[in-house]
Amino acid sequence: MNTKLRLGPLPSTDTVKMTLTVPIGLKIQLDRYAALHSETWGETVQPTDLIPHMLTQFILRDKAFKALMRRERLTAHRSQALDQS
C-alpha cells in the first residue's frame, strides 16, 4: 500500500519534553507562533494550548488520511448492511 501522507518519515533530532516530545526547532517555532497568535488576537495563549488545534487542522487537511477514513467508513457501512440482511 503506497499512501502519501503530508507528514513524511520523522528525522532523528534532539528533543524537548512538553506535553509531548518535540524537536527543539519545533518548540522554538511553536513559541513564536503562540506569541504571534497572542499579539494578533490580544489574548495570551501557550503553545500547548495551540497544538491540539494545529494537529486537528493538519489531519483534517490530509487527503490520503481522509481517503483512508472514507474507505474504512464505507467498508464498515457495507459490513453492517450485510449483517442486517
Nearest alpha-carbon partner for 45 in 56, 32, 58: 32
Task: Please give the DSSP secondary-structure letter assigned to residue 9.
Answer: P
Output the pTM of the full model. Answer: 0.58
pLDDT band at 64 (very low <50, low <70, confident <90, very high): very high
Q: Which residue has the cell 500547548?
A: 48
State CA 36 to chain mean position distance: 20
Nearest alpha-carbon partner for 51 in 37, 69, 67: 37
Q: What mean pLDDT is reported for the chain?
A: 79
Domains in the chain: boundaries? 15-84
Residue 9 has pLDDT above 70, yes or no: no
Q: Which residue has the cell 513524511?
A: 8
